[in-house]
Amino acid sequence: MVLGAPSVEAVPWEQLRYAHVAAIRAALLERDLAPASINTTLAALRGVAASAWNLGYLPVEELERIRQVKRVHGSRLPAGRAVQAGELRALLEACAADPSVAGLRDAALIAVLYATGLRRGELAALHLADYSPAQRALTVRQGKGRKERLVPVSRGAAAALEDWIAARGPAPGLLFLPINKGGVIGTATLSTQAVYKALTRRAATAKLTEPISPHDLRRTFVGDLLDAGADIATVQQLAGHASVTTTARYDRRGEAAKQRAVDLLHVPRVERKPRPAR
């Protein structure tokens, strides 16, 4: 319950005060949530307070007190894991072994997720018109924060995408479409959950030893580009991150440097002596 209300919709937000925001911050800390998640919640509460003040429901002194609730410092490693090159090949080989149109779609889906780093919601919202074969690029119109961006597509991913488009047909509409069990391409929206399930299904067919998610491919896209020497500001723009600080969280180069550093140390191996028999 928040402010005594049974649901968020029923909260009298104009009654929000410093004590409430401070209590919410403390409760979130007790739940051991990531600092970024807590700070997002605090920012939302500050936004609510500002709106209440603009509407004349909240005194300015209460708004200033709420703004004094401190952010939570700290960071955590990004969720998910890096996808190895052999795993990516295995996924694409599993798609190639499927002679149905679903094999073409899923190969394009996986190739685009890895080669562009799109969020699965951004991928599901793409339209056929958003792909330019001449530019070999995708226009992402449903990016986070309503920010559009142009994302070039690598040659291998473009080839997989164009194979799918040839099977899909030239009809306007969404780029990636659902396919029923009979192999018929539908016209409805391919949900973000369907994107996740397609990847999970191909991972099972490829006999990968660890689960894989669309975000794992996005994380790998960022990490692989940085490992290859791409400028971090350029990678930030490609990934659609609001801040280069977010991109830096996916930078694996620092971890490799730390590993090389500790490998300079030598810990002698001392064999345990056998215990004397009694």
Catalytic sites, residue numbers: 119, 144, 215, 218, 241, 250
Which two three-digit tokens encode residue 170?
A: 């030239």
38-41 LR contacts (CB < 8 Å, sep 24+) = 38/72, 39/71, 39/72
b/e code 86-98 from CB counts within 10 Å (16+ = b): ebbebbbebbeeb
List the one residue out of 77, 124, 89 whose CA is nearest residue 219: 77
Neighbours of 45 (CB within 10 A): 19
- What values do phi and psi take at 83, rounded to 5? -95, 130
Q: H or E stretch including 149?
A: strand 149-152
- Give the largest CA-CA distance in the chain: 86
CA count, 13 A, side-chain hemisphere, 207: 0
* 46, 49, 53, 54 alpha-carbon torsion, rounded to 10°: 70
* Residue 104 burial (10 A CB sphere; 0-12, 13-18, 19+): buried
Q: Where are the beta strands (DSSP E) in 56-148?
A: 131-132, 137-140
